[in-house]
């Protein structure tokens, strides 16, 4: 009975088994994103290294793989029960309750149960046991939780520098911990083409061999893309493919020079300038090409969206730009996808329900809603993960300013652009451009902890957010690339 003196757990023996007491309360734990509602109750739930998982649903049973404890009842107060049937408009809603006899996670769908498991993981990590203490004690209570914004994403630029399948999976795992549900992959740019298109083999044969700074580049086979998509889907994350056009197309044009519209001889590009390349908007071969690319990618992709880029087409005439984007929008719809483009596409008639991704121009964001488009909030001054934290940051750019962790947290995606209503906003996304990073360590330096700020901006309503409270929680947890120097 050496545990009796522990501050952590008072172990009494009653007829039903041991009774545990927790010295922490559920509403004090550093949960991120902060849940919508946490009600604490007195008492504790004890377990050793084991937690028996009970569910009558096979899909939920598969989620056991995400619970970081062994499944058995030995040493535990009771089981972890996973179930569906929660009534809530958001499929990601969940209710997590911990009482003396069991932990229960009920979801509005399997995605909700998965989000609840992430919260449980944070509770387990925050509930320390004393040294040499084999029993961990969790505080009791009920968490009711759901996202305030349905689309919560990040973008990874795999074109300026290529990131391997394993590096992207690592990022997906990190996203999942903070309940991010969308990964936008920027698959093509001037410096590289990164996805196999079977009808145009030189895209990867030639167009994938370059990257910023002269490295060897790389690309995903279609099987790689499916593997990433399946890996993300297990974590209830969608992958949205982007093929950036008509600008940002030098790598495709090097592979297929007949697509070129800037009248110059092209050569591979490994610098970081933008705005010099364009497809030829008046050449039918370009639309044959675009149709094939959209067709092959749309047949692989399970996302309802296809991102056509459309940014910084500085050498495309205005007339050609409008014509091109509208035609590509129609091609995307022919393949049963909804077009998304960077905010410049709001100048075109991309059609109601299509999406403008706001990064720089409030005028474009307002034009988008006039055209019954939705707006995805990615303001460069707040949400660009590739901006330096400050002038000493070893990675990153600063054309939109320096973005400290506090800056990344202190804004509201639903009111950032005056004149936009919340119901016109599809969601929030934090883009990570990769001119200055080429591997997971650079990625993690820029993304963490600022992606965690974005995760909370999308999940937790403004009325429950405060920098002081968030910052306290952030200092109490470990996160990828946790560096105290930031």
Active site residues: 312
Write the burial class of residue 99 (CB in 10 Å: 0-12 exposed, 13-18 middle, 19+ buried): middle
Nearer to ligand TNX, 87 or 318 (CB): 318
Q: Which of residues 147-186 bind ligand TNX (CB under 6 A)?
A: none
Contact 59, 91 (CB under 8 A): no
Residue 347 neighbours by CB under 8 Å, 6+ apart: 318, 321, 322, 364, 367
- b/e string for 243-275 if b means 16 or more Cβ within 10 A? bbbbbbbbbbbbbbeebbbbeeebebbeeeeee
In whole angstroms, the minimum distance from the beta carbon of 386 to ligand TNX comes to 5
In whole angstroms, give the CA distance from residue 161 to residue 190.
11
Nearer to ligand TNX, 174 or 313 (CB): 313
Nearer to ligand TNX, 196 or 311 (CB): 311
Nearer to ligand TNX, 359 or 470 (CB): 359
Per-residue tokens: 153: 């994403």
Q: Is 433 an interacting residue with respect to ligand TNX (CB under 6 A)?
A: yes
Q: How far lies 176's CA from each of 258, 292, 466, in Å?
A: 42, 32, 23
Q: Is 386 an interacting residue with respect to ligand TNX (CB under 6 A)?
A: yes
In whole angstroms, the minimum distance from the beta carbon of 377 to ligand TNX comes to 13
In whole angstroms, the minimum distance from the beta carbon of 268 to ligand TNX comes to 17
- Return the residue matching tokens 């410096």: 191
Q: Which of residues 387-426 bind ligand TNX (CB under 6 A)?
A: 397
How many residues touch ligand TNX under the rule CB under 6 A: the total is 10
- Backbone φ and ψ of 370, nearest 5°: -60, -30
In whole angstroms, the minimum distance from the beta carbon of 383 to ligand TNX comes to 10
Among 156, 154, 200, 159, smallest CA distance to 180 is for 154
Which residue from 274, 300, 322, 477 is in contact with ligand TNX, where contact means CB under 6 A? 274
In whole angstroms, the minimum distance from the beta carbon of 388 to ligand TNX comes to 11
Q: Is 342 an interacting residue with respect to ligand TNX (CB under 6 A)?
A: yes
- Return the residue matching tokens 């399970």: 302
Per-residue tokens: 407: 């800056």
Which residue from 311, 320, 429, 456 is in contact with ligand TNX, where contact means CB under 6 A? 311
Q: How many CB atoms lie within 10 A of CB 299?
A: 10
Per-residue tokens: 459: 């999940």
Nearer to ligand TNX, 320 or 386 (CB): 386
In whole angstroms, the minimum distance from the beta carbon of 188 to ligand TNX comes to 11
Q: Which of residues 45-84 bind ligand TNX (CB under 6 A)?
A: none
In whole angstroms, give the CA distance from residue 132 to residue 327.
66
Nearer to ligand TNX, 274 or 322 (CB): 274
Window 435-474: contact mask with ligand TNX (x via CB under 6 A)? x---------------------------------------
Nearer to ligand TNX, 171 or 384 (CB): 384
Rg (CA), the chain: 24
Which residue from 52, 224, 312, 326 is in contact with ligand TNX, where contact means CB under 6 A? 312
Contact residues for ligand TNX (CB under 6 A)? Answer: 274, 311-312, 342, 359, 384, 386, 397, 433, 435
């Amino acid at each position: 009975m050496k545990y009796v003196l522990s501050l952590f757990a008072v172990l009494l023996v009653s007829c039903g088994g041991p009774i545990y007491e927790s010295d922490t309360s559920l509403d004090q734990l550093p949960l991120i994103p902060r849940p919508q509602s946490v009600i604490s109750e007195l008492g504790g739930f004890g377990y050793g290294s084991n937690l028996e998982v009970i569910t009558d649903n096979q899909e939920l049973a598969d989620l056991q793989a995400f619970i970081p404890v062994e499944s058995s009842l030995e040493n535990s107060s009771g089981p972890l029960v996973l179930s569906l049937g929660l009534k809530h408009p958001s499929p990601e809603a969940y209710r997590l309750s911990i009482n003396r006899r069991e932990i229960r996670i009920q979801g509005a769908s399997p995605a909700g149960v998965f989000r609840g498991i992430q919260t449980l993981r944070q509770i387990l990590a925050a509930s320390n046991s004393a040294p040499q203490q084999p029993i961990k004690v969790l505080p009791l209570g009920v968490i009711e939780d759901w996202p305030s914004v349905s689309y919560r994403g990040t973008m990874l630029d795999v074109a300026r520098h290529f990131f391997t399948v394993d590096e992207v999976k690592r990022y997906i795992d990190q996203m999942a911990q903070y309940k991010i549900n969308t990964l936008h992959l920027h698959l093509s740019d001037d410096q590289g083409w990164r996805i196999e298109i079977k009808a145009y083999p030189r895209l990867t044969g030639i167009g994938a061999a370059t990257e910023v700074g002269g490295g060897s580049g790389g690309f995903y086979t279609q099987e790689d893309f499916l593997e990433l998509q399946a890996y993300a889907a297990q974590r209830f994350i969608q992958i949205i493919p982007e093929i950036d056009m008509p600008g940002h197309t030098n790598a495709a044009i090097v592979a297929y020079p007949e697509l070129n519209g800037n009248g110059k001889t092209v050569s591979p590009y490994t610098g970081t300038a933008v705005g010099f390349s364009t497809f030829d908007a008046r050449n039918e071969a370009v639309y044959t090409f675009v149709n094939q690319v959209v067709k092959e990618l749309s047949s692989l992709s399970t996302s309802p969206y296809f991102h056509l880029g459309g940014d910084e087409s500085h050498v495309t005439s205005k007339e050609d730009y409008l014509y091109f984007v509208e035609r590509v929008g129609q091609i995307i719809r022919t393949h049963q996808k909804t077009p998304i483009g960077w905010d410049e596409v709001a100048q075109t008639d991309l059609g109601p329900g299509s999406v403008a991704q706001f990064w720089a121009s409030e005028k474009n964001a307002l034009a988008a809603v006039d055209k019954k488009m939705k707006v995805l909030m990615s303001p460069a001054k707040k949400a660009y993960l590739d901006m330096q934290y400050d002038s000493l940051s070893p990675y990153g750019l600063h054309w939109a300013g320096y973005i400290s962790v506090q800056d990344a947290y202190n804004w509201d995606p639903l009111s950032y652009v005056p004149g936009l209503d919340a119901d016109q906003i599809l969601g929030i996304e934090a883009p990570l451009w990769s001119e200055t990073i080429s591997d997971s360590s650079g990625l993690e330096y820029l993304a963490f902890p600022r992606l965690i700020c974005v995760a909370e901006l999308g999940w937790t309503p403004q009325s429950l957010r405060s920098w002081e409270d968030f910052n306290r929680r952030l200092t109490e947890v470990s996160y990828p690339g946790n560096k105290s120097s930031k």
